Chains A and B, each alone.
Chain A
Amino acid sequence: MKMDFIVDKQTKTVSITKEFAFELSLVWDAYTKQEFLDQWWAPKPLTSRTKVMDFRVGGRRFYAMVSPDGQERWGLQKYTSITPKTNFKLFNTFADENENPELPGSDWDLNFSEQDGTTKVSISIYNESLERLEKMVEMGFKEGTMSQLNNLDDLLAKLSREKESE
């Protein structure tokens, strides 16, 4: 089902909304249980390997994204708020293999809702520094197919529209 991906460079927020044709309890489990997360979190050809996961407020998930040649990139997600089957928040950073976070990180706010058997998950990711996105992309996705670049004309038109509306 459809996914929306919106970047607001001014507020440094990325919003990702996705609908699933499944009931909420199942989708919630997929986001909050280690055995499920490791099966979908890492975009192929990477794999996700969770070393520690403790889904409670104050708990964390410490995991590695592993590339096909065995290189590990560690990530740390600290759960800051949990409302079962409705919302949870976490603070996301990269880390070294000893769980030392690499700041700055990003604040994630995940909302879950269900209507007529369709579950909607809205994630908003606030980055102190959007340079993390660059880092994130650099960490092993270079081999991936380069997507069509947005037309510069479109970008400039957008920039000038924003300028006018300010």
Chain B
Amino acid sequence: MRRDIFQAIADPTRRAIIALIALQPMTPNALAEHFDTTRQAVSKHLRILTECELVTQDQKGREIFYSLEIEKMKEIDKWLEQYRKIWETRYSQLDDLLAKIKKQEKEK
């Protein structure tokens, strides 16, 4: 099942992880140091982010580094931006319609 990307970023710890790995790729151990949670909890968050394709893994020796898929992050804002545009178009059409109805009322 595909994960809901918005659910992924709704969690504060996951947002913090995103902010950290946006700066540089990090290992789960290095990430865990920033939080009051266990390494297991951080790994679980990373798994969710991986399933959402928000992060990618890179094996270096015995360590796995996680980095942010910047393009995927941009997608989120792109969707929201398009949703906003839908409403802008819709409302500019409504403005026109209201003006038209008003004009017709006056002409009666």
Contacts and interface: CB of A to CB of B under 8 A. Distances in A.
B5 to A, nearest CB: 7
Interface string B66-88: 00001001100111111111111
Interface stretch (A67-75, A93-101, A133-141): A133-141
Contacts of A44: 89, 93
Contact of B78 (A14, A26, A149, A163): A149
Q: Which secondary structure characterizes the binding site on chain A?
A: mixed
Contacts of A163: 12, 15-16, 19
A149 B88 contact: no
B86 A141 contact: yes
Q: Chain B's interface: helix, strand, loop or mixed, by majority? A: helix
B81 A150 contact: yes
Contact of B19 (A27, A30, A156): A156
A136 B97 CA distance: 24
Q: What range describes how many residues of B lie at the interface?
A: 35 or more
A137 B80 CA distance: 9
Interface of A: 1, 3, 5, 7, 9-10, 12, 14, 16, 18, 20, 22, 26-27, 30, 36, 39-44, 129-131, 133-134, 136-137, 141, 144, 146-150, 152, 155-156, 159-160, 162-163, 166
Given A26-B98, A26-B101, A147-B85, 17 more contacts: A3-B88, A5-B84, A22-B98, A30-B101, A43-B85, A44-B89, A130-B4, A131-B6, A133-B79, A134-B5, A136-B86, A137-B82, A141-B82, A141-B85, A152-B70, A155-B77, A159-B16
